[in-house]
Structure 1
């Protein structure tokens, strides 16, 4: 593959005339498309062998977008009209591939970044990747918040004799029929995988350690989150939270009786303060109500054939699935601590200003606002760069 407009030296050092984009998932594609529309050349690198690698390689089969498609489309290209309101995983991948073709985005694959630092003397970023060193005036980090699986540090984990896997390795419940499976983590992934396992006749237990909000996916025939986004334009946040909690009570009842305790802080306020997303129920609560999914307390330690829970009760399991989420890995290679937090890998600046740092560094997809936040970030980054490019 030939990459035009690059200046390459004998030392395999490549100077990029425009921004260098790191990551070819939805964030990187959106940033590239926005730059393309404004006539700014760019170069995009991706450590995996395909675009949207998280979606293609590390998601489960039954996954669908949690928001209606109009809230998940990337800039300048809507979803096909024939797609359902909540596109499937494969439909979203098809959309991303069409998006890359539409805007002539051709990432250079197999280019994992080892380090990146800014040279103030030359006013350039130096980015060391697997195949070359890149020099650029603008650096766009688009690797996302979900780059590396989070593995919990639970006593005795290495002693467990059954199978342990992260949700990034889970596809469907077919191979777990009749098996006793413990799902650790009760976010959207943990809830959905528990439901999927249950539908394949596995015996499922779900660890719920913390308080959490479980909201209906839809209210009055509308997406709950989309409806709440509309309401907060006109009503106080606390009042919208009250409406969400009331709706959840009416639909799900007192979830604390099944081991799921609601936080005192409302779901939208909690999301704004901590980034914790409420769970959108897609059928798991019905299985919890019937006991087909059993809610259990936190784990004290693993034992060779199962788990000892807090309180001393033990139970055997064949498989443990860690639905413990992901984290960013940017802090491990970006040598600029003022932009990305080493603690959680997210932007040091808060939304909506988290997309811009000093010396021409930008981020897309770190605002904890989902695909809609990605679109907003990408357009702001492109607007900021094009002003400098023209001058």
Structure 2
């Protein structure tokens, strides 16, 4: 169940008696490390109070589509981007019908239309309603659109009937939610990922670095591990927890990172997400540099070029499938295409770091992937975790084509 660790789940609560199970479901999801935000329909509020779910989730419950306070904080579009999974439990017959028709007349249905996250429904209704031809047709439509149905189960119902229509128990739903993140597209593949900045010492106190947080590289490592890969993550100095099932190696300088990468070879797939310093001081002072009153206001540093880690690894005889990142502030696609060619890469991921919403230290990203035939694939702005999983699936598909 570690697959739910740090996953972002929106739990939609529909208007059915099974809504009482949603409270336990929030607990089960959080027990497994997920962050949960709850959205309730008007009907859902008749069966369980928002205050209960707020206390269990640790976040205010989202209730209304046109709530000025909510829109000023985490509005419906931000919530749609935030989610890794939207799980609707209970999903009533009415709610399934509205989703099948593409209706967006409340916050929950609007989120479903606005998100690119996975969507799962836990049906809960009277057995006759579940068997009804219209409900079954709606269920087929929703599955054809890629939504998952968790259940329903068979058993006694609140109305006294017995049959299919019971919502699954919280433990079962939490397990199925975890299964949404199990994609073994990289099973048996050794993936080497670089992340974060490097630091190049000037003296024992000062160094040259950049604004990279390492979040994208760490998200890629987590997504690759979810996909079944054996992951080696080589990272510069960052303050991020190590993803589960990932072998982490900490380094400082560009030369340290190259040495660690070479020691980790061979690998099947290289993803170079680190922001490596292009230059380092030619001489590192043994003691802290002091102000020289005779030198005016300046300090002259002689810089020399660092080794090109990505180009070095992509030229090896045992060359892996090689994916680079191009973090640019202008001429994004032009510079990325040049880097793809010059470094002998299979794919290049172009990222506009001039945009503060998707640049260094941001929670979100938007990228364009370019291949050797100059085909471009754009990934819309969303959380770095979701971008990472989308990118890993994309890379895995390209990697499997070459085998």
Identify whether the pair has TM-score above 0.5, normalized to the shorter chain: no
TM-score normalised over the length of structure 2: 0.25
Higher RCO (CA-CA < 8 Å; seq separation 6+) = 1
Which structure has the bigger radius of gyration?
2
Q: Which has the higher helix share?
A: 2
